[in-house]
Amino acid sequence: MARLRQEAAGLRQALITSPVIDTARGVVMATAPGTKEEAWQALVEISQRTNVKLRDIARHIVSGVTGEPLPPPVRGALQVALERIRANRR
């Protein structure tokens, strides 16, 4: 029963965070510019480099669009990921 509760909680969290992640992916795509897959990989890379959950990375990026500063580790990892996407386009 506990496992079922955990799974239900995970699914609820996914439903809540999915729109934020999709928006963050769009921000990355517009900034780099790149494909949906490249934007997803960038978010994963940022999450792994900073040891911050992907949903939290997405929230930071979306908040950054409205002028809220990104935490320095996230900002640095985002710059690296965007440069990688741009380099792949050349």
pTM: predicted TM-score of the whole model, two decimal places? 0.78
Number of domains, the chain? 1
Which residue carries 């963050």 as its tokens? 24
- 12, part of any domain: no
- 38, part of any domain: yes
Full residue range of the structural domain in which residue 85 is found: 19-89
What pLDDT does 81 receive? 92
What pLDDT does 12 receive? 61
* Chain centroid offset of residue 58 CA: 4
Confidence at 78, pLDDT banded by 50, 70, 90: very high
Number of H helices, E strands in the chain: 4, 0
Structural tokens at position 65: 């669009």
- 6, part of any domain: no
Confidence at 66, pLDDT banded by 50, 70, 90: confident
pLDDT tens digits, residue range 13-57? 655 567 899 999 999 999 888 889 999 999 999 999 999 999 999
What pLDDT does 17 receive? 60
- 59, part of any domain: yes
